[in-house]
Each structure stands twice: as structure tokens, then as C-alpha cells.
Chain A
Amino acid sequence: MSDTDYNFAYLDEQTKRMIRRAILKGVAVPGYQVPFASREMPMPYGWGTGGVQVTAACLTPEDTLKVIDQGADDTTNAVSIRKFFQKTADVAVTEKTGEATIIQTRHRIPEQALGEEQILVYQVPIPEPLRFLEPSEVETRKMHALEDYGLMHVKLYEDIARHGEIATAYAYPVKVEGRYVMDPSPIPKFDNPKLESAALQLFGAGREQRIYAVPPYTQVVSLDFEDYPFDPSKPAHPCALCGAADSYLDEVITDDAGSRMFVCSDTDYCASRREDAA
């Protein structure tokens, strides 16, 4: 126990139990959105209150925590959540993907493949993949229960009709273990193939009060049409710093004359590649 006035990892033990129960149910029914009694957290909704609660419920004093925001370890959201757990749980933190036991992420999956001993926690703004097609929660729950997913394809149809291809580039809907259609949180579709992983993946939506999970080695299929198959997309150029051709790139504006460079969005991946090269 650290010498702060907080209980370990901020939340009280009963709350953590409640969240763990929701997580267990989510793991038992992959892709199913489990309702849970989301707590008020000392940060605004949209800053990862769901992910923070899931992380708090999973954290043990022996864990090593890594927090990333859009792939980067040094952005505001990542820094403040990391500090939050350093202060309330006094756990070890790291920026190295391989050394972390719990990784909380916003909008990315690390480039380095995860292992069985790791947990990846996603921050989810809107857990319901059908939400923008069907506003009624009663109806969407019924659609999940009855596996009535024709509407999801209507959305992809609209994409092709309007843009000539499936233009959904992030939060690309997937079908988990041949049953539930799931929103993988707003990760780029580039990351979708990485959803089939050796690590346990947990999704927390604080404002929407939902937790769902993809257990290790679960089948995750991105939805598509037979004649318009899923394409994870690939950047046209390698990373300007480390030269990686297989990673997801951010476009960085370097001056006000229109110069730009494309660099890895995963800062740890980029830095370790440059260290290895040096």
C-alpha cells in the first residue's frame, strides 16, 4: 500500500469486484457488451474513464503499466493516466511494450505482437457498433440477441455506393467468434488483423457503461462483401525516422511551408527500432 489516502488503484474494493465480474462475463461471452455500474472518475468522460476503471480492476502491485494514446507514450492523455496510477497504485510504469503486463490504449494496438501474459485495455467512446444505424438501445440489443446483423452490411453498402470502396477507416466492425458484431473502438482498420492476439483484450466504455472482451486466440473477422474484401490498407511510404514499412504512420507537419513527414504512430516501436539500428 502506498502512503496516499487512496485505496489501491483509486477504486474501492467492492467496485473493483463488480467490474471484475463484468469482465469475467465479457470473457465468457466474447464480443458481448456487459453493462456495469460505471463510477464517476476524476477525469472527464471521453478521456478514458471506462479504460481506467477496467485497468484499476485488473491492476496488482506487481504489474508494470504502459499507457498509450494514439500509439504515443508521451501525449497528454497517456501521461495523465500513467501519473494517475503511479500516484494511486504506486505500480511500475514503462514505455516498452514488451515489458508491460497491462497496457491501456486509446485508438491503437501496439505494433509489437503481444504475449499471453499481457492484458490490453481499450478506451471505448461508443461501444455499440449499430448505434448510428439504429438509435434505439432496445432495438440494438434485440438485434444482437437475434444475430440480426443485416443492417451492418447496409452501412458498408452505403460506403461503396458513395465512395466506391468501403470508406470506414477506423472503428471498423468485426464479428467475434462467429457470433457478436463488435466495435473494436476507434482503432484504424490497419490494426484490425492484430485483434486476433495471444493477449487478453478488454474494452471499457465509461459513459456508456459497457465492458466487453476478446479472449486470447479468439477469431475476429472484419466484415466485408465477397466482391469488396476487407483491406487493412498500407501506407505508401516507410517511416521517415526508423524506416519501418510495416507500421501505422502519422502525418506530421514540420513547418508552415507545407513540409511534412510520415512517422510511426507507435513511439516505442519507432524508438526501439532506431536504438537497434544505432
Chain B
Amino acid sequence: MTPLLDVQGLSKRYGGRIGCAEVSFQLYPGEVLGIVGESGSGKSTLLNCLAGHLAPDTGQVIFDTRSDGPRDVLSMSEPERRMLGRTDWAFVHQNPRDGLRMRISAGGNVGERLMAVGAQHYGAIREQATDWLGRVEISEARIDDRPSAFSGGMQQRLQIARNLVTGPRLVFMDEPTGGLDVSVQARLLDLIRGLVRRMGLSAIVVTHDLAVVRLLADRLMVMKDGHVIETGLTDQVLDDPQAPYTQLLVSSVLQV
């Protein structure tokens, strides 16, 4: 089986400091990979390098494209990478304000990716937007409201709808539940889990919240100071942590 994403020796330095160093892993279709670590451990740098928002210093990111098979994303031309970014890839930001257009209605936000790949039939775009709002549990009546009139949880769900509307195969998520209260978090996680399973998506989820990866991720990567210090199945890593830092991380979670 060809991995959907094959990362080889990815490094990014900020001058003398290390962003992330020598990261290698494979992600297979339908798999969800969690990346955990404390603030400053390089997990967001890694995610941004993978998604093409940052240029890594060394390494390869090989993506199994629909048309041409495995290709190095970093050596693609900018138009190709942008096309990938709005068809096969999706990026869910921690802050929905970064991922949404706040001055454009919910329907327009969901429809943007469709229009970016050439949809020019208003009725069809609106129909798909309505369908997707339903899937993320936003009432159809709010399709013409702006995201600024939405609650934080709704904004995050809208961002997810906007990203998944073109049927991507790989979703990058940066702290998708950050800044939401626990009950909203729980519902959002339920929703994401359902969508990921039903659509057979592959996802890379960056978070510092171990509960999130416990629910979502099949496999786990633990990062510290830019290096990957432990990898394995999620339950294995969380229940039987080997590296001292992972043990600390797991034992730091408050038990209610």
C-alpha cells in the first residue's frame, strides 16, 4: 500500500534555533495521526511545513496525488501547490477567524472553495453549502449570516464545513478544539470523528490536549524541542509511555 503522505528527514531552523529536526513518518489512507507536545516543541512548525505554509530547510514531503501518484510537494510549483491546498488538502486553524472570511456569509464561506475550483452555478453551490451546514449541525436558516454572528463552537464547525466541502483526502488540524469550553469540545470532537470515519479521511491533528488524540488519533507522535521522541499506537503510547517526557506528559493530566 502506498502511503498517502511520506515525510522524510524534515528540518526547519529559525536561525540558530531548531523549529523541528529530522522528522520522518508515513501516513496511510484513512489514518489519523496525532502530534502532541508542549508549547514550543515544534509541532505547529512541523504542521505548517507539511501544509506548505512554511518552507522547510531540508527534507521531503511526498504526497500521493490523484493524477500523478507520489510527488514531492516541496518541489511542486506554486499553482500546483495552491490547487492541492484547495482540493485534496484542508487546513483547520485553531482560531476560526484565521480560517474564515468574517465579512462573508456562512454560505459564501463554504462555497469559496467550490468557486475557487471553478464552480459557476449559484444554485448548485448553494445546495452544497446548505448540505454541508447541515452536516456540521448548523441550521439552514443561518446560511446568510456572517460568521461574526456565530458562537465560537459554530465558527469552528463552519470552518470544518468550509474545508471539507471539496472532499479532501488529507486534513491538517491545528488545535481544532482550542479555546472552546468542554461540552462544546466534546460535541465538536464527536462531529470530527464521525466525519473522518464516514469520509475515510486521513488527518494530522496537532494538539496539546491528550483527550483529543485519545478520541481521534490512531497513532501518536510525541515531540519535544523539535525532535520526535516517541511514536506508536495512541493507546500504547498513552497507557505505557516509554520516554521520560511522555511519562511526565501523561501524568500531568488532571483526573477529575
Q: Which residues of A contact B (CB under 8 A)?
A: 142, 146-148, 150-151, 153-154, 157-158, 160-162, 224-228
Check A160/B122 contact, CB under 8 A, given A148-B116, A150-B112: yes
CB distance B115 to A161 under 8 Å? no
The 9 sampled A-B contact pairs (Cβ below 8 Å) are: A150-B115, A150-B116, A151-B116, A153-B120, A154-B104, A157-B125, A158-B104, A158-B108, A162-B144
Q: Is B69 at the interface (CB under 8 A from chain A)?
A: no
**Which residues on the B side are within 8 Å of A151 (C-beta)?**
112, 115-116
Residue among B79, B108, B144 making CB contact with A154, cutoff 8 Å: B108
CA distance A147 to B93 in the complex (A): 25
Question: Which single member of A146, A154, A226 contacts B121 (CB below 8 Å)?
Answer: A226
Q: Which residues of A contact B111 (CB under 8 A)?
A: 154, 157
Interface size on B, residues (CB 8 A): 23
- A150 and B108 contacting across the interface, CB-CB below 8 Å: no
> What's the nearest-Cβ distance from chain B to residue A155, in Å?
8
Interface residues, chain B, CB within 8 Å of chain A? 78-79, 82, 86, 101, 104-105, 107-108, 111-113, 115-117, 120-123, 125-126, 143-144
Write out the residue numbers on chain B whose beta carbons fall within 8 Å of the beta carbon of A160: 122
Q: Which 7 A-B pairs have the closest CB atoms?
A: A150-B116, A153-B115, A225-B122, A150-B115, A226-B121, A146-B79, A154-B112
B112 touches A146 (CB 8 A): no
B108 and A157 within 8 A (CB): yes
Instruction: Knowing A146-B82, A150-B115 are in contact, say whether A227-B108 is a contact too (CB < 8 A).
Output: no
Is the beta-carbon distance between B105 and A162 smaller than 8 angstroms? Answer: yes
Asked whether B117 lies within 8 Å of A150 as measured between CB atoms, the reply is yes
How far is B120's CA from A228's CA once the two chains are assembled, in angstroms?
9
Nearest A-chain residue to B146, judged by Cβ: A158
Please measure, in the bound complex, the distance between the C-alpha atom of A150 and the C-alpha atom of B117, giving whole angstroms. Answer: 7
Contacts of A153 in B (CB 8 A): 115, 120
Q: Is the Cβ of A161 less than 8 Å from the Cβ of B82?
A: no
Given known A-B contacts A146-B79, A150-B112, A154-B115, A161 and B144 have beta carbons under 8 A apart = yes
Question: Given A148-B82, A157-B111, A157-B115, A227 and B104 touching (CB < 8 A)?
Answer: no
Instruction: Name the CB-closest residue of B to A225.
Output: B122
